[in-house]
Amino acid sequence: MRGRYAVIVSRGVGALQRWLPAAIPLLQGGGRLVLEKGPAALQEVRDLAPSLATRYGVQVDLIVVPGESSAARTMVVISKPDDGQKFDKPR
């Protein structure tokens, strides 16, 4: 199943540091993970971003989902580089 999926979408994802090592290898080059997370997503991604970039070479984007829900929701989009593509490492 490694490198087989262009897009993986999930909601109710637990801790990213436990989930991502299993999910990222499933993506093909240029693939994306789209994950719905709660209000702690920003801090969780900040904590993981350096290791995600160096270990997996992925790019992470956050999209805040507007709405009337009492709990803020954030979409975490993790993009795996296409073969030969490189993302800049965070400074």
Question: Tens digits of per-residue pLDDT, 31-42?
Answer: 999 999 887 888
User: Do the Cβ atoms of 16 and 76 come closer than 8 Å?
Assistant: yes
Question: Tens digits of per-residue pLDDT, 6-64?
Answer: 999 998 778 888 888 889 999 999 999 999 988 788 888 888 878 887 888 888 888 88
Task: Name the β-bridge partners of 86.
Answer: none
Q: What is the DSSP string of 40-68?
A: THHHHHHHHHHHIIIII--EEEEEEE-SS
Based on the number of CB atoms within 10 Å of its own CB, is 35 exposed (0-12), middle (13-18) or buried (19 or more)? buried
Mean pLDDT of 79-89: 67
pTM higher than the cut 0.85? no
Task: Supply the Cα-derived Rg of the chain in whole angstroms.
Answer: 13
Answer yes or no: is pLDDT of 89 > 50: no
